[in-house]
Structure formats: structure tokens, C-alpha cells
Amino acid sequence: MTTGLECISVSKHFGAVKAVNDVSFEVPPGALHTVIGPNGAGKTTLFNCITSELKPTSGEVRFEGHVISGRKTHELPVFGVARSFQRTSIFSNLTVAQNVWVSAFRAFAGTRVEVLRPADAHPEVTETIYQTLEEVGLDRYANSPATELAHGDQRLLDFAIALAPKPKLLLLDEPTAGLSRSDTQRVMHLIESLKGRYTIVLIEHKMDVVMRISDRITVMYFGEVLAEGTPQEIRANPKVREAYLGRRA
């Protein structure tokens, strides 16, 4: 199967409010696709439809041909789908390594419930944890409590939890939201280093950060697709300039 992610006429209506209306796009394997739009454009609602947090009113989302929308959230990792969270979402009372363990163990053991061995008894899982922490640059904090990490490092830990199961599709919801300039740089460098190895869908608010790294961009405006194209096409699109860039340029 060579198809990556397909959003097929996805709509999500809350009563009369069409938060997302008939949004379609395709992301080939290994590509980085960004969805941008002003506040309230429906980006996060769309994201939640892709991650099965919400059930689309109509339309569906497929990955590698399998329908992944309208499922239970805990079923998505089975399809090789992982997500990060807009507001850093970690396990605050566990250590950094234990945080990554939660997703790494799931990938290793499947849905098997294990009670007879200690949690850290699997060297394969431990190896995955340290590889992942090294990749995001947190290996020296492995045994620190997650809450003691700096704000930016916590976001990287959030990434590590998503990366440890070695997913095929990464869904990133405003990964730089609320980060300082230097932390934003670190996160963007990380995303760049992941590019090509994963199919990535990025939801972003900050235009400048996505232009450089995206393969294609979908611009949303009031729940609908305003434009889709390469960063150059989007930059040149007059409708986009008016709706979005106009206020900044």
C-alpha cells in the first residue's frame, strides 16, 4: 500500500456551527504536510477528527487504506499513528524514562496485560527508551522526575512519548505553542530531523516556522480549505495573503 494519509471530505458540525466543512487532502508517505489558519479556523477540530478524539459528522480519514477516524483513541497506535499534544501532555509523577516506557511498552507488548514481571524487566523496551531519549536530547535526564524538566524539555518529552513506538504517521498539534524562541528552534530542528522518516501532519499557527520545512500546506479559514499547495504557492496566493498573511505582512 503506497497511500499515506487521506482526509476525505471531513466535516465536523457542532449544531449549526460548521467547525470543519468538507476538508480533503492527501499526504504521501514520508511527506510533511502542514495545516495552517488563523485562530478559530478549525485546525484543532480537524486534528481531533484525525486522531479520533472527535467523530467526524461526515467524511472519513484513512491511513494506508485503513479508516482511522471514528475509532477509540487507544486503537490508533495499532495503525502506526502517534500524536503530540498542543498543551504538553506527560505523566507528571513518573520519571522521564518511565514516561517513554508507557508508549514503548505498549508497542512492545501489544494489548497483553502483564502483572508477573517488574515493569523494567524487558531490555528491548529499555533500549527503545534510551534510543528515543537520545534522539530528542533528553537522555541525561532519564531518571529525573518529569515535572523537574524545563518547559521546553517537557515538550520534547511529549515528542519522545509519541516517537518511542516507532509510528509511521506523526500528528503534531501546534508543537511550538507557548514555547520560547530558543525552545521553538529546538523543536523545529527535531521535526526537521524526523522529516522523511515519518509521514507528518503538522498543525501550526506560526507561519514563519512552517514555510521552510513543509512539503505542502493546507490553509484553513472558517472551517473550509482556502488553499492548498507548496509553500511558494501559498506565499503567492492572494486569497491567503488577504485572509491570513495580510495582517502580518
Partner 1 sequence: MQKLFSLPSLIVIALLIVGLPFVQRPVVAAEVLTLGIAAVATNLLLGYTGMLSFGQALFFGVGAYCAGVLATKYGISAFLAIPVAMLFSAVIAFLIGLVCVRRSGLYFIMITFAFNQMVFFIAYSWTTMTGGEDGLPGVRRPPLIDDQWSFYIFTVLVFICALCVMKLFVNSPTGRILQAIRDNPGRAAATGHDVGRYKLIAFVMAGMFTGLAGAIFAFVFGIVPIDKVDWRFSGDIVFMTLLGGSGSFIGPVIGAAFYTWLQETVSHYWDRWPMILGIVFALVVLFFRTGVAGMAEVLTGKLTQKGAGAKPKEMEAGS
Q: Which is nearer to partner 1, 119 or 150 (CB)?
A: 119
Q: How far is the CB of 173 from partner 1 (least distance, A)?
A: 11
Nearer to partner 1, 124 or 233 (CB): 124
Nearer of residues 187 and 240 to partner 1, judged by Cβ: 187
Smallest distance, partner 1 to C-beta of residue 74, A: 5
Three cell numbers written together for 41 = 479556523
Could you tell me the three cell numbers for 228? Answer: 492548498
- Non-local (6+) Cβ contacts of 35 within 8 A are 43, 46, 47, 201, 202, 203, 204, 217, 218, 219, 220
- CB of residue 78 to partner 1, shortest distance in Å: 7
Rounded to the nearest whole angstrom, what is the least distance from the CB of residue 42 to partner 1 in the complex? 21
CB of 118 to partner 1, least distance (A): 5
Three-state SS sequence of 96-155: HHHHHHHHHHHHHHCCCCCCCCCCCCCHHHHHHHHHHHHHHCCHHHCCCEHHHCCHHHHH
> Which CB sits closer to partner 1, 89 or 131?
89
Closest to partner 1 by CB, 77 vs 231, is 77
Binding site for partner 1 (CB under 8 A): 51, 72-78, 82-83, 85, 89-95, 98, 101-103, 105-107, 109, 111, 113-120, 143, 145, 147, 161, 165
- Exposure string over 195-229, b if 16+ CB within 10 A, otherwise e: eeebbbbbbbbebebbbebbbbbbbbbebbbbbbe
